[in-house]
Copies of this chain bind each other. A is one copy, B any other.
Amino acid sequence: MARQIAKPSSTADAQAVKKAGSPTLVDVAKVAGVSPITVSRALHRPEVVSEEMREKVLAAVRQTGYVSNMLAGALASKKTRLVAIFLPTIANSIFADTVQALMDRLTEAGYQTLLGLTGYSAEQEEKLLEAVLGRRPDGIVLTGTLHTESSRLRLAQSGIPVVEAWDLSEDPLDMLVGFSHEGVGAAIAKHLLGKGYQRFSVVSISDPRGLRRCNSLVGELARHGITSVPMQVLTPPATLEVGRQGLKQLLEAGEAPDVVVCSSDTVAQGVLAEAASRGMRVPEDIAVMGFGDLSSAAHVHPALSTVRVDGKRIGDQVARALLERFKHPDGGKTVRVDTGFTLVDREST
Contacts and interface: CB of A to CB of B under 8 A. Distances in A.
Interface of A: 3, 5, 7, 21-22, 65, 67-75, 78, 80, 85, 89-93, 96-97, 99-100, 103-104, 107, 110, 112-117, 128, 130-136, 149, 153-154, 157-158, 239-241, 244, 266, 269-270, 273, 276-277, 294-297, 299-302
Most buried by B among A80, A92, A240: A240
A266 B294 CA distance: 11
Most buried by B among A67, A97, A114, A302: A67
A251 B117 CA distance: 42
A80 B131 CA distance: 12
**In the A-B complex, the 5 residue pairs with the closest CB atoms:** A239-B295, A70-B134, A115-B115, A91-B96, A273-B300
A240 B128 CA distance: 34
B5 A153 contact: yes
A74 B82 CA distance: 15
B117 A103 contact: yes
23 contacts: A5-B157, A22-B157, A67-B154, A69-B136, A70-B134, A70-B136, A71-B71, A71-B74, A71-B135, A71-B136, A90-B96, A90-B100, A90-B103, A91-B100, A107-B117, A110-B131, A112-B131, A113-B114, A115-B115, A239-B295, A240-B299, A241-B296, A269-B269
B68 A134 contact: yes
Contacts of A273: 299-301
Contacts of A239: 295-296
A157 B5 CA distance: 9
Contacts of A112: 114, 116, 131-132, 135
